[in-house]
Amino acid sequence: MSKTISINAGSSTLKFQLFEMPSEEVIAKGVIERIGLKDSLVDIKYGDGQRLQETIQASNHEIAINYLLDQLLKLSIISDFSEITGVGHRVVAGGEYFKDSVVIDDDVMKKIDELADYAPLHNPAHLTGIKAFKKILPDITSVAVFDTSFHQTMPEKNYLYSIPYEWYEKYGARKYGAHGTSHRYVANRAAEMLGKPLEELKLVTLHLGAGASITAVMNGKSYDTSMGFTPLAGITMATRSGDVDASLVAWLEDKLEISSEEMIDILNHKSGLIGLSGVSADMRDLEKVMDENHRAKMARDIWINRVVRYVGQYVAEMNGADAIVFTAGVGENDIEIRQAIADGLSFFGVKIDPEKNNIRGEERDLTAAGSTTKALLIPTNEELMIARDVERFK
């Protein structure tokens, strides 16, 4: 038995899970938030219900990782670093370099750095984490697992934009997608629940969180996905706009007298649910006030509309679907949202049982009697998917 640690570094967060492998037993898991800000928040769960919550000063990801590794020893989660034989790092942007997970060497790190323009808030943080682990644990198996690699199977007709082809050839201007590790995990789990080979199924996986994306999975591969060159494209999200007419963007830049950089920041951080509602980026907050606040209800309705629109598009593209799969924060926990989405897809034979749907955060087949398309609730587990990929290279 050996231990593998999965590292999921966001722009200001560090999530981890430590697994006993190959049994996949979770030994410890947690998160460090507000990295780079004053008073970073630590939450680590381990042992038999034990928990560490405290505030630290982590000005960067290297400090956060060093702190985490020290705590694994101090809390007696491990007795020595030699117990950890593998580490897997989630990396958002792999471009066209990486069609699968890879063992990390100097060339891989160089390419992750080159791709920072594709994910400027994430790839630099991932690279910092990779270097920090290599400094402390230089000899363990170190693997990069890319959000984009699952989507490298998309056909040209789905990943190319209708712009001059030379821009793709010279600059890699195309759709890359994101959340691939999550979509891959729930697609595989859906096949297990349905008792059929993944290669024989048509699925639409709905990763519905603050960041949200929808993927058409056909014959075991990503066929199309809603996020684009960056995670800004696709459906309405918590603070991201999703799809917007490019001409409108240019027109507004002129009207507002702002730069492209300022506009991209607004579309990423001040749009979506928060921009529409003026209330909150959190769906739960909108639902509390939507009966008396028109904009809150409007924002929620638009969010549901965009989800239904994309699912319908993908069902049409694949000429049918065996199941739709709900996952991530909203998808796993919002009973009313799942019902509303299913109601909007009844034409495609989607119908969920209200009694089965009365659940949060637990795996379940939600399908109602008479439905021709299955509806599944599957909590995502990107960290487990990362750990499994590390095992492939040990």
Residue 211 annotated as part of some ligand binding site: yes
Strand partners, 32: 14, 42
Per-residue confidence at 210, pLDDT binned at 50, 70, 90?
confident
Query: Of the ranges 33-37, 237-241, 348-352, 359-363, which one carries the lowest mean pLDDT score?
Result: 33-37
State the span(s) of the chain assigned CATH 3.30.420.40.
2-146, 195-382
Average of pLDDT values for 83-110?
92
For residue 306, say whether it is annotated as part of any ligand binding site: no
Q: Which residues are bridge partners to 296 per DSSP?
A: none
Strands 374-377 and 323-327: parallel
User: From CA 381, how far away is CA 123, in angstroms rounded?
Assistant: 21
- DSSP letter, residue 331: H
At 124 the pLDDT is: 84
What is the CATH superfamily name and number for domain 195-382?
A: ATPase, nucleotide binding domain (3.30.420.40)
Local confidence band at 165 (pLDDT 50, 70, 90 cut-offs): very high
Q: What is the pLDDT of residues 16-31, one digit of tens each?
A: 999 999 999 999 999 9
CB burial of residue 105 (10 Å; 0-12, 13-18, 19+): exposed
Is-catalytic flag, 43? Answer: no
pLDDT tier at 202 (50, 70, 90 boundaries)?
very high
Does the pLDDT at position 206 exceed 80?
Answer: yes
Q: What is the mean pLDDT of residues 339-349?
A: 94
Helix %, strand %, coil % for the chain, to 5?
Answer: 45, 25, 35
Closest CA to 375 of 194, 180, 178, 185: 194
Rounded to whole angstroms, the Cα distance separating 217 from 224 reads: 7
Mean pLDDT, residues 237-262: 95
Is 269 annotated to bind a ligand? Reply is no
Helix ranges (H only) for the chain are 61-74, 106-114, 123-136, 156-159, 165-171, 180-194, 246-256, 260-269, 272-277, 283-289, 294-318, 328-333, 335-344, 382-393
Full-model pTM: 0.89
- To the question of whether residue 69 is assigned a binding role by annotation, the answer is no
Q: Which of 70, 106, 147, 265 is catalytic?
A: 147
Other Cβ atoms closer than 10 A to 160:
14
- What angle is formed at CA 117 by the lines to CA 116 and CA 120, rounded to 5 degrees? 65
Can you give the pLDDT at residue 174? 96
CA 302/CA 307 separation, integer angstroms: 9
What string of DSSP letters covers 32-59?
EE-TTSSSEEEEEEETTTEEEEEEE---
Known binder of ligand: residue 207? yes
The two counts, helices (H) then strands (E), for the chain are 14, 14
| pLDDT attached to residue 329 | 87
pLDDT at 84 over 80: yes
Mean pLDDT, the chain, integer: 92
Which amino acid belongs to residue 312?
G
* Radius of gyration of the chain from its Cα atoms, rounded to whole angstroms: 21
| pLDDT at residue 121 greater than cutoff 80 | no
Quick one: CA torsion of 226, 227, 232, 238, rounded to 10 degrees? 60
3-state SS, residue 120: coil
Average pLDDT on 206-219 reads 94
pLDDT at residue 4, as a whole number:
95
Quick one: pLDDT at residue 1? 66
Is 90 annotated as a binding-site member?
Answer: yes
| Placement of tokens 């691939």 in the chain | 180
CA distance linking residue 51 with residue 70, whole number of Å: 15
Is 42 labeled as ligand-binding?
A: no
Architecture in CATH for domain 2-146: 2-Layer Sandwich (3.30)
Top mean pLDDT of 110-114, 221-225, 228-232, 288-292 is at: 221-225
21 marked as part of a ligand binding site: no
How far lies 353's CA from each of 88, 117, 336, in Å? 38, 44, 12
Give the distance, in angstroms, between the CA of residue 280 and the centroid of all CA atoms in the same chain: 21
Percent of the chain with pLDDT over 90: 75
pLDDT higher than 90, residue 13:
no
What is the average pLDDT across 161-184?
95
Tell me: pLDDT of 126 over 70: yes
Within 10 A of 347 (CB to CB), how many other CB atoms are there? 8
